[in-house]
Amino acid sequence: MGIYRTYFDKNSAIIKDSEINTGRNPVAELYFGNRVSRFLLYCSFDEIKKKVDDKEINLTGGTKHYLHIKNTSNSDISKILSDSNNLLFGSDFRSSSFDLELRATKEFWDEGMGYDFKLHELSAPQNRNYNEEPTNWFHGTRTTTFLTPGVTLSDIIDTQHFDQGNEDILMDVTDFVNNILINGIVTGVTSGGTSGETSGITYNYQGFCLKYTTDYEEFTDANRTYMLGLFTRHTQTFFEPFIETIYDDYIDDSRVDFYLNKVNKLYLYVNVDGTMTNLDELPTCTIGNTSYPVTQQTKGVYYITVNATGNTFDSYTDYHDVWSNILINGIGRSNITLEFVPKEDNDFYQMGSDIMEPAFYGVSLSGIRREEKLHQGENRKIFVHLRKPYTVEQHDVVTKVFYSLYVKQGLNQVQVLDWQKVNKIYNSNSFNIDTTWLVPQTYYVDIKIERNGEINLYNEELKFMVVNKMVY
């Protein structure tokens, strides 16, 4: 599966009936009880839209989008926070047993320059971190007032229940994001002149608002304020909030392992001057006199599915798959003829009393040098070389090879990508590392191989650093 993360361009926590701005604080505090607050976030979907337009991401292939925000709470909030660090607004208790909802904001707002949630008497009026300027509960910018205090909101996108209160935010925003990617940035919501709004205004997407559900916002407790702490985009840790896009770009090419009596996939790769390139139209493919539907997997990669059952194919016979309708930038190319040789199904369905020998490969990775420094924006293909046991230079290309990507925070291992399938291409196993969405950090790669009933792990097979973003 392919993974892409869209980080936020601005965020701010706004407090009900207050002009306080906290746009630069590394922690957003969501209150209910004696006080109420909301967390605003905005990201542009331009980069992900470009990947969709380039067919790198196929929205019809089960693509999903999730909002991830890291919770700061691991113990009772009263034990780790106090008034002296400007992170509390009164006497707060950690929230528990509550529901949060995500809505889209319909009015433009600025992040602002504020930091502190309250003005400390020892630093006033010199404390410039305390800011009562937009954005806040009433104002989106210095010259604009929200039509609805707390910003005008859309219908609910998703809701999440919290039991202990230390759970991380994980919300499904697939339908909302896909609508933007397919239909454009305008949501098409027009005011009908309801209370608190001006008639005849068409609202565009202006970000998201994370808030307690209405019953919690209306819950009153004169003696207590309940608080949830969330990392913002200004955190100095690894835990910036983001929207994660998960899409299917896995390649399982059967060209060298085409077995009878199973489903196989045959791929066509379109490479122009060293760059994977889309054809103007879907090509066609025939094997003998049979035509097969063609599907695009990702940018420049097409495949057909062949169910090799019955007497359709003979084993160890040379067959040709012919790809036609090859158009690149309006220029027609000649047909492309590739070949494959079906193998007996007994080589695939290994049943009986025979017990397979364990296959503990010698693993090495190439494509990134160990401890190499990559600039943010580079995209590298990593080849996984599997040296067969008891041989010198014989390598294998197999399925069920996985990789994971993670960073280290002290003694903790923070997962960036959980186990992802490694592509099985014609003559190699490989995967791509796109540093566009990787924040500057040191990264590690583990490899896992499932074969012959065994699961073998190869830890820290690769270590590399991502440094500052490239400037063009």
> Are residues 372 and 281 located together in one domain of the fold?
no
Place of tokens 């605003």: 40
> Looking at the domain assignment, is residue 171 inside a domain?
yes
State whether 144 and 33 are in the same domain.
Answer: yes
**What are the pLDDT digits (tens) for 443-455?**
999 999 998 778 9
Q: Show the low-confidence residues of the chain (pLDDT under 70).
A: 74-91, 118-129, 185-203, 222, 352-358, 392, 469-472
- Reference 69, options 228, 197, 216, 214; nearest CA is 228
* Residue 35 included in any domain: yes
In tens, the pLDDT along 353-400 reads 555 666 788 899 999 999 999 998 899 999 999 988 777 677 788 888
pTM greater than 0.85 (yes/no): no
**Structural domain contains residue 252:** no
pLDDT at 79: 45
pLDDT value at residue 187: 44
* Domain-ending residue, one of 202, 220, 247: 247
Q: Are residues 39 and 184 in the same domain?
A: yes
In a domain, 368, yes or no: yes
Same domain, yes or no, for 41 and 102? yes
Q: Where are the beta strands (DSSP E) in 16-133?
A: 27-33, 37-42, 64-69, 92-94, 98-105
- Do both 53 and 142 map to the same domain? yes
Nearest to 462 by CA among 427, 426, 422: 422
Residue 379 lies in a domain: yes
Domains contained in the chain, number: 3
Same domain, 239 and 371: no
Strand partners, 208: 41, 104
Look at residue 66 and tell me if it is in a domain.
yes
Question: What residue numbers bound the domain in which 76 lies?
Answer: 2-247
Same domain, 49 and 166: yes
241-257 residues labelled b (16+ CB within 10 A) or e (exposed) = bbbbbbbebebebbbeb
User: Would you state the pLDDT for residue 77?
Assistant: 43
- CATH code of residue 374: 2.60.40.2550
Looking at the structure, do residues 163 and 235 belong to the same domain, yes or no? Answer: yes
Is 258 a domain residue?
no
Residue 255 lies in a domain: no
- Residue that terminates a domain, selected from 247, 276, 299: 247
SS3 217: helix
Say which CATH number the domain at 306 has: 2.60.40
Residues 343 and 282 grouped into a single domain:
yes
Q: Do 292 and 423 reside in the same domain of the chain?
A: no
Are residues 277 and 403 part of one domain? no
H helices of 186-340, in order, are 214-217
- Do 168 and 72 fall into the same domain? yes
Task: Characterise 178 by phi-psi region: left (phi > 0), alpha (psi -120 to 50), beta (else).
Answer: alpha
